[in-house]
């Protein structure tokens, strides 16, 4: 069995009882960063062995991991924060495990964009999750492809790129497009800034962006 286990994006109390139980019961935890996950494991007195599984080694180790699963080992996959597979490693392992007929169970739990989307005040009945934008190559093409998107759009962004991204939104989507920017979801300094693209951009030009951001952009 392979368990996909979400972990808190901020507040450690967001861990579910079931997630803690599963992490204690499996034989091995695959972690994006064993040091980061180590803090969580210590907090919940989980002493299950961990092994590194991240974007830089997943293509090299996925076959051997699937072989171990096929041989009968029970494992759990966690990332640094949130649900594995959502802008984090996870897809490749789940795909290869499913191909081999290995049972996969994904537990419900924390992921950053859901609370940001619901909290935005923008329509959340239909939306498109875009995750992180291309850094350079393909960025303009991505914006052009989304120019006529009528659904609410969800993006992840880092603090040092946020103002540039908001400037690009002005260019491709218009200064008056409604937007909501949430930072530090479930952490001490969580906040949400709502307004038009130009208003929110002006806010962060005078208030330096800090933390990790979820950007919710209204559709056309």
Report pLDDT digits (tens) over 115-128: 999 999 999 999 99
CA angle 214, 219, 220 (to 5 degrees): 145
Enumerate residue ranges in the chain where pLDDT < 50.
none
Nearest to 106 by CA among 128, 79, 66, 71: 79
Instruction: Give the pair of three-digit tokens for residue 91.
Output: 């897809």
- CA dist., res. 44 & res. 150, Å (int): 43
Q: How does the average pLDDT of the chain come out, rounded?
A: 96
**DSSP secondary structure, 187-210, as one string:** STT-EEEEEEHHHHHHHHHHS---
- pTM of the complete model: 0.91
pLDDT of residue 137: 86
Q: What is the pLDDT of residue 193?
A: 98
Roughly how many angstroms between the first and final C-alpha of the chain, as a whole number?
Answer: 43
Structural domains of the chain, ranges and CATH numbers in brackets? 2-106 (3.40.1010.10), 113-217 (3.30.950.10)
């Amino acid at each position: 069995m392979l368990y996909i286990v979400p972990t808190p994006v901020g507040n450690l109390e967001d861990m579910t009882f079931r997630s803690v139980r599963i992490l204690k019961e499996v034989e091995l935890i695959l972690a994006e960063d064993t040091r980061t996950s180590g803090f969580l494991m210590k907090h919940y007195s989980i002493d299950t062995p961990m092994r590194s599984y991240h974007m830089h080694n997943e293509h090299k180790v996925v076959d051997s991991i699937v072989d171990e699963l096929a041989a009968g080992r029970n494992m759990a996959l966690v990332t640094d924060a949130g649900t594995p597979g959502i802008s984090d490693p996870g897809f490749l392992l789940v795909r290869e495990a499913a191909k081999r007929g290995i049972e996969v169970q994904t537990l419900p739990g924390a992921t950053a964009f859901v609370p940001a989307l619901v909290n935005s005040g923008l329509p959340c009945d239909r939306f498109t999750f875009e995750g992180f934008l291309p850094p350079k190559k393909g960025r303009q093409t991505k914006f052009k492809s989304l120019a006529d998107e009528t659904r609410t759009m969800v993006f992840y962004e880092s603090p040092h790129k946020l103002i540039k991204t908001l400037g690009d939104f002005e260019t491709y989507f218009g200064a008056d497009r409604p937007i909501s920017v949430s930072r530090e979801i479930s952490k001490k300094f969580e906040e949400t800034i709502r307004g038009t693209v130009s208003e929110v951009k002006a806010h962060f030009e005078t208030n330096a962006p800090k933390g990790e951001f979820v950007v919710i952009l209204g559709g056309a």
